[in-house]
Amino acid sequence: MNSKPTLYMVVLGATPPGRLTEQHDIFFGIGTDIKALKPDMYAFWHNGGQLHIDSWRQVTKVGGYNINIVPKESFTPTDEKLFFLNLGGYKPADLEEYHYKMLVVAKTMAKAVKAAKQTAFYKHYNFKGAESHIDEKYALDVDDMHNVEDILPLHLKEQYRIAITPSDSLIEDELHAGYVKLGPFTGL
Protein backbone atom coordinates (compact mmCIF):
# COMPACT_ATOMS: atom_id res chain seq x y z
CA MET A 1 0.00 0.00 0.00
CA ASN A 2 1.25 3.45 -0.95
CA SER A 3 1.35 5.85 2.00
CA LYS A 4 1.11 9.06 0.00
CA PRO A 5 -2.11 10.20 -1.67
CA THR A 6 -2.28 9.52 -5.40
CA LEU A 7 -4.72 10.52 -8.13
CA TYR A 8 -6.65 7.60 -9.68
CA MET A 9 -8.69 7.43 -12.88
CA VAL A 10 -11.26 4.61 -12.78
CA VAL A 11 -13.73 3.26 -15.36
CA LEU A 12 -16.76 2.24 -13.28
CA GLY A 13 -19.46 -0.06 -14.61
CA ALA A 14 -22.94 -1.06 -13.46
CA THR A 15 -26.36 -1.95 -14.76
CA PRO A 16 -28.49 0.64 -12.97
CA PRO A 17 -32.11 -0.20 -12.13
CA GLY A 18 -34.33 0.17 -15.19
CA ARG A 19 -31.47 -0.11 -17.73
CA LEU A 20 -31.05 -2.90 -20.29
CA THR A 21 -27.30 -2.74 -20.73
CA GLU A 22 -24.27 -2.08 -18.61
CA GLN A 23 -23.42 1.61 -18.27
CA HIS A 24 -19.99 3.16 -17.67
CA ASP A 25 -18.60 6.37 -16.26
CA ILE A 26 -15.22 7.78 -15.33
CA PHE A 27 -14.37 8.49 -11.70
CA PHE A 28 -11.40 10.48 -10.43
CA GLY A 29 -10.39 10.10 -6.81
CA ILE A 30 -7.46 10.49 -4.46
CA GLY A 31 -6.30 7.80 -2.08
CA THR A 32 -3.41 5.70 -0.88
CA ASP A 33 -4.68 2.71 -2.91
CA ILE A 34 -7.59 1.76 -5.18
CA LYS A 35 -9.58 0.18 -2.33
CA ALA A 36 -9.59 3.47 -0.41
CA LEU A 37 -11.73 4.99 -3.19
CA LYS A 38 -14.75 2.69 -2.68
CA PRO A 39 -16.81 5.09 -0.49
CA ASP A 40 -16.26 7.95 -2.95
CA MET A 41 -17.11 5.71 -5.93
CA TYR A 42 -20.46 4.79 -4.40
CA ALA A 43 -21.14 8.43 -3.46
CA PHE A 44 -20.32 9.41 -7.08
CA TRP A 45 -22.69 6.81 -8.58
CA HIS A 46 -25.12 6.38 -5.72
CA ASN A 47 -27.96 4.91 -7.80
CA GLY A 48 -25.80 2.61 -9.92
CA GLY A 49 -26.65 -0.55 -8.04
CA GLN A 50 -23.79 -3.05 -7.82
CA LEU A 51 -20.66 -1.24 -9.08
CA HIS A 52 -17.56 -2.81 -10.56
CA ILE A 53 -14.27 -1.52 -11.96
CA ASP A 54 -13.49 -2.25 -15.61
CA SER A 55 -10.09 -0.53 -15.64
CA TRP A 56 -8.02 1.94 -13.64
CA ARG A 57 -4.71 3.71 -13.44
CA GLN A 58 -2.75 5.71 -10.98
CA VAL A 59 -2.16 9.11 -12.56
CA THR A 60 1.44 10.09 -11.84
CA LYS A 61 2.78 10.76 -15.36
CA VAL A 62 0.99 12.38 -18.32
CA GLY A 63 2.61 13.60 -21.53
CA GLY A 64 6.03 14.48 -20.14
CA TYR A 65 4.75 15.78 -16.81
CA ASN A 66 4.77 14.42 -13.26
CA ILE A 67 1.40 14.50 -11.52
CA ASN A 68 1.51 14.70 -7.72
CA ILE A 69 -1.13 15.26 -5.09
CA VAL A 70 -0.18 17.88 -2.52
CA PRO A 71 -1.97 19.40 0.47
CA LYS A 72 -3.96 22.48 -0.53
CA GLU A 73 -2.01 24.76 1.82
CA SER A 74 1.38 23.83 0.30
CA PHE A 75 0.34 24.08 -3.36
CA THR A 76 2.25 26.41 -5.70
CA PRO A 77 0.05 27.26 -8.71
CA THR A 78 1.34 26.71 -12.26
CA ASP A 79 -0.17 27.51 -15.66
CA GLU A 80 -0.55 23.83 -16.58
CA LYS A 81 -3.76 21.96 -15.85
CA LEU A 82 -4.71 18.30 -16.15
CA PHE A 83 -7.64 17.81 -18.54
CA PHE A 84 -9.79 14.72 -19.08
CA LEU A 85 -11.26 14.38 -22.59
CA ASN A 86 -13.79 11.81 -23.77
CA LEU A 87 -13.62 11.70 -27.55
CA GLY A 88 -16.52 10.21 -29.50
CA GLY A 89 -16.36 8.75 -32.98
CA TYR A 90 -18.00 6.37 -35.43
CA LYS A 91 -17.32 3.67 -38.02
CA PRO A 92 -19.34 3.41 -41.24
CA ALA A 93 -22.30 0.96 -41.01
CA ASP A 94 -21.79 0.45 -37.27
CA LEU A 95 -24.49 1.35 -34.73
CA GLU A 96 -22.00 1.98 -31.93
CA GLU A 97 -20.44 5.27 -30.89
CA TYR A 98 -16.85 4.54 -29.84
CA HIS A 99 -15.03 6.51 -27.19
CA TYR A 100 -11.43 7.28 -26.39
CA LYS A 101 -10.61 8.64 -22.97
CA MET A 102 -7.47 10.68 -22.61
CA LEU A 103 -5.59 12.86 -20.16
CA VAL A 104 -3.75 15.93 -21.39
CA VAL A 105 -1.61 18.49 -19.58
CA ALA A 106 -2.17 21.89 -21.17
CA LYS A 107 -2.52 25.55 -20.21
CA THR A 108 -6.00 25.90 -21.76
CA MET A 109 -8.87 23.75 -23.01
CA ALA A 110 -8.16 24.94 -26.55
CA LYS A 111 -4.60 23.56 -26.31
CA ALA A 112 -5.94 20.29 -24.90
CA VAL A 113 -8.30 20.03 -27.90
CA LYS A 114 -5.38 20.63 -30.25
CA ALA A 115 -3.60 17.65 -28.66
CA ALA A 116 -6.75 15.53 -29.03
CA LYS A 117 -6.83 16.23 -32.77
CA GLN A 118 -3.41 14.57 -33.09
CA THR A 119 -4.57 11.19 -31.72
CA ALA A 120 -4.98 8.12 -33.90
CA PHE A 121 -8.55 7.81 -32.60
CA TYR A 122 -9.51 11.21 -33.96
CA LYS A 123 -7.99 10.38 -37.33
CA HIS A 124 -9.51 6.85 -37.65
CA TYR A 125 -13.01 7.28 -36.18
CA ASN A 126 -13.92 10.16 -38.40
CA PHE A 127 -15.79 10.07 -41.72
CA LYS A 128 -18.03 12.43 -43.70
CA GLY A 129 -21.37 12.77 -41.96
CA ALA A 130 -20.11 11.36 -38.64
CA GLU A 131 -17.06 13.37 -37.77
CA SER A 132 -15.21 12.67 -34.54
CA HIS A 133 -16.23 15.29 -32.05
CA ILE A 134 -15.50 17.23 -28.84
CA ASP A 135 -18.25 19.86 -28.90
CA GLU A 136 -19.31 22.76 -31.09
CA LYS A 137 -17.32 25.26 -29.05
CA TYR A 138 -14.02 23.64 -29.96
CA ALA A 139 -14.99 22.25 -33.41
CA LEU A 140 -14.09 18.70 -32.43
CA ASP A 141 -16.42 16.16 -30.85
CA VAL A 142 -15.21 15.64 -27.39
CA ASP A 143 -18.30 14.25 -25.72
CA ASP A 144 -16.95 15.52 -22.40
CA MET A 145 -14.03 17.70 -21.36
CA HIS A 146 -13.06 18.65 -17.81
CA ASN A 147 -10.29 20.12 -15.74
CA VAL A 148 -9.68 17.07 -13.49
CA GLU A 149 -9.27 19.19 -10.36
CA ASP A 150 -12.81 20.58 -10.90
CA ILE A 151 -14.47 17.13 -10.95
CA LEU A 152 -12.89 15.63 -7.84
CA PRO A 153 -15.21 14.93 -4.88
CA LEU A 154 -15.74 18.10 -2.83
CA HIS A 155 -14.02 16.81 0.31
CA LEU A 156 -10.88 16.04 -1.76
CA LYS A 157 -10.89 19.49 -3.44
CA GLU A 158 -10.96 21.01 0.05
CA GLN A 159 -7.82 19.06 1.05
CA TYR A 160 -5.65 18.63 -2.04
CA ARG A 161 -4.38 20.14 -5.29
CA ILE A 162 -2.86 18.56 -8.37
CA ALA A 163 0.79 19.61 -8.74
CA ILE A 164 2.12 19.38 -12.30
CA THR A 165 5.87 19.53 -12.99
CA PRO A 166 7.89 18.78 -16.12
CA SER A 167 9.44 15.33 -16.37
CA ASP A 168 12.25 13.91 -18.46
CA SER A 169 10.27 10.70 -18.95
CA LEU A 170 7.56 10.19 -21.57
CA ILE A 171 6.57 6.83 -20.05
CA GLU A 172 2.97 6.93 -18.82
CA ASP A 173 1.36 5.02 -15.96
CA GLU A 174 0.37 1.38 -16.29
CA LEU A 175 -3.27 0.75 -17.20
CA HIS A 176 -4.93 -2.05 -15.21
CA ALA A 177 -7.76 -3.62 -17.22
CA GLY A 178 -10.15 -6.33 -16.09
CA TYR A 179 -13.33 -6.78 -14.10
CA VAL A 180 -13.04 -6.05 -10.35
CA LYS A 181 -16.26 -6.53 -8.38
CA LEU A 182 -16.59 -3.89 -5.67
CA GLY A 183 -19.30 -5.62 -3.67
CA PRO A 184 -22.17 -3.77 -2.07
CA PHE A 185 -21.37 -0.59 -0.23
CA THR A 186 -22.65 -0.63 3.33
CA GLY A 187 -21.76 2.95 4.29
CA LEU A 188 -18.84 4.67 5.93
Judgement on whether residues 95 and 165 belong to the same structural domain of the protein = yes
Judgement on whether residues 81 and 146 belong to the same structural domain of the protein = yes
Find the domain containing 37 and state its range: 1-59+173-187
Q: Is the confidence at residue 139, as pLDDT, over 70?
A: no
Counting the structural domains of the chain, the total is: 2
Judgement on whether residues 65 and 151 belong to the same structural domain of the protein = yes
Judging by beta carbons within 10 Å of its beta carbon (0-12, 13-18, 19+), is residue 77 exposed, middle or buried? exposed
Judgement on whether residues 95 and 163 belong to the same structural domain of the protein = yes
Q: Are 51 and 11 in contact, with CB atoms under 8 Å apart? A: no
Tell me the residue ranges of DSSP E strands in 107-159: 142-147
- pTM of the entire predicted model: 0.85
Judgement on whether residues 52 and 69 belong to the same structural domain of the protein = no
Judging by beta carbons within 10 Å of its beta carbon (0-12, 13-18, 19+), is residue 171 exposed, middle or buried? exposed
Predicted confidence (pLDDT) per residue in 95-130, tens digit: 777 778 899 999 998 898 888 877 777 766 665 666
